[in-house]
Structure 1
């Protein structure tokens, strides 16, 4: 059998932290997930990164693998377990394979860690593998909460549609866990879970930055100069915003507590002013602009 360098498979250094290994795995899993990837070798790559993650995410497995790797093997070289390896008492729990791929490991992996089955040919009760997927919701649903439907098919656990509740104030990257909605268990074991990573779609009116919401408000020159009170759209409904006299374009005004819900400390809405200048199209308007210019003859915007 061939030796596998699991660190190279995940694209990390041998001294990578657990967090770096997890981040590398999640990035590659999204790239090569058979349900979404357009890569021609997606399924093969997905199995390889899942196997590498299974070997490195657990401290005991990683220590055992590092012990073997220290022998100087290179990827593709023929490998045989060290003498007495199977009698050294290595015992690894395969009850939860984790990830969306799981199972179906190479001979190299199984020669190091076994298959996690009991003796006498009887199959040990084993928890089913989790399913990882990503769903996108709009910012309004993320703000107020709601329900969305998720279609799972093929490698994601059979054809089915699930209704998922989105909690109010959810952030991009947060994960919703649906217990028992993953792959079925083996030997009478429980099913795995469905792990849904949340993404939030772009919105033409609002931009999310943590728990704060950013928006732009267009105002007329006289509203900027004289001040005004203007109804501003927020995710929770329209709110009156007072524009101070003498406001300039680019000025930011804060609507406290009008951002995303966040327990005792909700975010704010940050409104950026954009001054728009009208075009003079008739004699009266041109005369008014001339009078305005003459009235402010001493004003220099570049001073």
Structure 2
């Protein structure tokens, strides 16, 4: 599931909405729902906010009686309270297995923006003949950018929601050894055949699809197969030119800084981005960093530059513009 958050939404405490404990079994949740529905159903209720309350009750039931939705929601719910501005971390659902394409298709117009953002993707299961193919499972995983450069085999821990005979929801860990293909891009899927739900009546098992994302890395930004990095250089390296050794995801390279370089200049290393039939490029974006003037000698050097090198960067920018 790829979730895009543009603005914060209001966190919904579904347990509070239904008046049940966080460890309540599904039959108890359904019982609480029926009691509230009898009170707030718009066809019979005299309450002025009956329609809104019924919508909130329906939404809470839709989440808390579905083991997959509930397990993912519980992962978030421990850290938030009702009404709080809410923007989950980008990897909030990493490692959770879901059936179909995530969650089943529903009429999202019936529920809040909070619900729609969390559970707004779905996918059908496949049926063949009189037997039924097992449902596909999906999960989001995070891999290091370096693994995408070289390829790797990694152990991935997935979390599988399950329900016991009494209706209590828990999460089982599922460890898999996964081959990360060299050159895989963010958003691509790794297909594990037969690792989905078992088939019924002789049907084949479904597949497990792992949606790959890159572990956040403060040093690199990825766009398709191109990789970008900020390279901090001293003023004299930018002005006079330099040859320096810099790290990259595929190893250290010897890089030439052209003389007269300005901050923001991009230095392109062709073919040093993510591998592929058409490999991407690696771009270093220069950032000129000034040494601090925290000693008498350093201040005198700056004062000398101010006298001997008259320079107004604002006029230079206007002239260039």
TM over 0.5: yes
Q: 1:234 to 1:285 in 2, by over 3 A?
A: same
Write out aligned runs for 1:238-257 (5 A).
Answer: 238-257=252-271
Q: What's the C-alpha RMSD, in Å, of the aligned pairs?
A: 3.2
Q: Does the 8 A contact of 1:50 with 1:102 survive in 2?
A: no
Farther-moved stretch of structure 1 (226-235 vs 158-167): 158-167
Larger radius of gyration: 1
Write out aligned runs for 1:1-303 (5 A).
Answer: 33-38=69-74, 50=104, 102=125, 124-155=130-161, 160-263=174-277, 265-297=278-310, 299-303=311-315
Q: 5+ unaligned residues in a row in structure 1: which ranges?
A: 1-27, 41-45, 54-74, 76-98, 104-115, 119-123
Q: Distance in 2 between matches of 1:117 and 1:238?
A: 53
Q: Distance in 2 between matches of 1:117 and 1:230?
A: 61
TM score, norm. by length of structure 1: 0.60
Q: 1:285 to 1:49 in 2, by over 3 A?
A: closer
Q: Does the 8 A contact of 2:105 with 2:123 survive in 1?
A: no
Farther-moved stretch of structure 1 (207-216 vs 288-297): 288-297
Deviation of residue 207 (structure 1)? 0.7
Deviation of residue 49 (structure 1)? 5.7
Q: Distance in 2 between matches of 1:166 and 1:221?
A: 41
Q: Distance in 1 between matches of 2:227 and 2:105?
A: 40
Q: Does the 8 A contact of 1:100 with 1:129 survive in 2?
A: no
Aligned partner of residue 313 in structure 2, secondary structure: coil
Q: Distance in 1 between matches of 2:262 and 2:128?
A: 71
Q: Distance in 1 between matches of 2:286 and 2:158?
A: 44
Deviation of residue 247 (structure 1)? 0.9
Q: 5+ unaligned residues in a row in structure 2: which ranges?
A: 1-62, 78-98, 111-121, 163-170, 316-321
Q: Distance in 2 between matches of 1:159 and 1:295?
A: 68
Q: Give the structure 2 partner of residue 112 of structure 1.
A: none
TM score, norm. by length of structure 2: 0.57
Aligned length: 205
Q: 1:174 to 1:34 in 2, by over 3 A?
A: farther
